[in-house]
Chain A
Amino acid sequence: EDQVTQSPEALRLQEGESSSLNCSYTVSGLRGLFWYRQDPGKGPEFLFTLYSAGEEKEKERLKATLTKKESFLHITAPKPEDSATYLCAVRGSSNTGKLIFGQGTTLQVKP
């Protein structure tokens, strides 16, 4: 069964304090690992898609990496506006089109 586990559930950082969010996954035939950002009361906003181990993608202060078992979302020198819930999801070969989501990591960045 495809499964996604994110850790930690919640993370508090001081502005400028870099850290990483973890997404561990079990999937039959990875067809993509997705990172989204969700602000309270809003729909998820697409950040990255990763397809194969060793792949990395960057956007501003965020960098996503992928191995065969997990993905990391590295946040460098975060700002208060980076505060949000970050969702990780996978799509496997057995779930055409469907995404399996983790429970999310809620990040709070204090000024």
Chain B
Amino acid sequence: GAVVSQHPSWVICKSGTSVKIECRSLDFQATTMFWYRQFPKQSLMLMATSNEGSKATYEQGVEKDKFLINHASLTLSTLTVTSAHPEDSSFYICSASQSTGGRGDTQYFGPGTRLTVL
């Protein structure tokens, strides 16, 4: 149980284009989803937290107009990187949990999406 999928697993795009990444919880309803970014040899950096039906909460320093997050249903969240540039190239990982902050709440991670911007 607790399976989270991401699509696509990798994407290569030209500078200036937009890229959408999907995150789905396959066997549970995710009240909260999180988006992380990970650089080589580094730990995960939280970008934003999203609750179903609400606007995402972005971490300090993350441009909300560049990284658009939509959590339209209890099983789907999307991250759109708008007008991507080479510095946006990274490994993007989503996670999902059934509740927020309560005991028993665990974040389950997707397999990640490798974005390369040329």
Contacts and interface: CB of A to CB of B under 8 A. Distances in A.
Interface stretch (A12-20, A40-48, A60-68, A73-81): A40-48
Residue from B107, B109, B110 with most neighbouring chain A CB atoms (10 Å): B107
Given A41-B112, A46-B108, A101-B43, A31 B103 contact: yes
Contacts, number: 57
B111 A43 contact: yes
Contacts of A99: 34, 46, 107
A46 B93 contact: no
A23 interface: no
Measured as residues with beta carbon below 8 angstroms from the partner, the interface class of chain A is: 20 to 34
Given A31-B103, A41-B114, A51-B103, A101 B44 contact: yes
B114 A43 contact: no
Interface of A: 31-32, 34, 36, 41-46, 49, 51, 87, 91, 96-99, 101-104
19 contacts: A31-B101, A32-B105, A32-B106, A36-B109, A41-B112, A41-B114, A43-B4, A43-B6, A43-B110, A43-B111, A45-B109, A46-B106, A46-B109, A97-B34, A98-B34, A98-B46, A99-B34, A103-B42, A104-B43
